Amino acid sequence: MKILITGGNGQVGFELQRQLCLLGTVMAPNRQELDLADAGAVEKWLVEHQPDLIVNAAAYTAVDKAESELERAQRLNAELPAQLARYCADRGHRLVHYSSDYVYPGSGESPWQELDATGPLSVYGRTKLDGDEAIQASACQHLIFRTSWVYSARGHNFMKTMLRLGRERDALKVVCDQIGTPTPARLIALITQAALRRSLESGLYHLAPAGETSWQGFASEIFRQASALGEELAITPDRVAAIPTAEYPTPAQRPLNSRLCCQELERALGITLPSWQEQLALTLVEHLDS
């Protein structure tokens, strides 16, 4: 089986390459080999290489920049998934795609379920929702995994930023009223492999570890665990001050409630998802040992 992984150099894409190579021959062209922003180039590549499975880990993820770069965000988050879905629908192939908690309005305190009404607050969220809906409308075999607060041992992400700042500063202010679940790219890739091995029924699933926290709580736990692992930091967990979103304005509005109910995925795969703290520990060890 020939597997195309788009966005293979990203956080999720890198982990997918490590996991999906067990299922077939992985093709993960870089930007020089395939410009995903160019619909014609994508069409030509698909015709030439004829993948049997497409795993779309590519996305425009610069949430604030998307407010002023709508065209590029729309292409990568909506038009590209639609194009890949058409290819899969025409050939009876399967498409795996990754979505975001940002498609929800962020109100209330209950975890979002897959059938809840959407209501994105930002360009990024709207374009991600457009991509989801295009895949669902294509009638191709698909798995859409909506996840939240993605990070990994590689790339640019909140965990690595906090570690850098924690070495430089003895106090920080971090938003405390946005609640969600930090999700490591490794877990996303492991679940994807399990879903493909077990031929998980086509549909939309939420994917995140168990538990919830704020960005401030996430930062404090990063510092607590890193210190326990022997990392020298200027900051201590109790020096992470909690501030409301209103004190940290950004071009794009963030949802306050990013909780995701993952019971449907757990039932379908017969698993219990691990806690976000356990997953952070694994990711920190991998990063600090690298």
CA distance 212 to 258: 9
By annotation, the residues acting in catalysis are 124
| Model confidence at 226: pLDDT above 90 | yes
Is residue 3 within 8 Å of 52, Cβ to Cβ?
yes
Any idea what the Cα angle at residue 98 is, between residues 244 and 265, rounded to 5°? 90
Tens digit of each residue's pLDDT (9 = 90 or more) over 94-122: 999 999 999 999 999 999 999 999 999 99
2-157+181-210+259-273 fold: Rossmann fold (3.40.50)
CA distance 225 to 217: 12
Tens digit of each residue's pLDDT (9 = 90 or more) over 185-219: 999 999 999 999 999 999 999 999 999 999 999 99
Domain ranges of the chain: 2-157+181-210+259-273
| Model confidence at 289: pLDDT above 90 | no
Contacts of 74 (CB under 8 A, 6+ apart): 127, 130
What is the helix (H) or strand (E) element at residue 6, kind and residue range? strand 2-6
What is the helix (H) or strand (E) element at residue 239, kind and residue range? none
pLDDT band at 290 (very low <50, low <70, confident <90, very high): confident
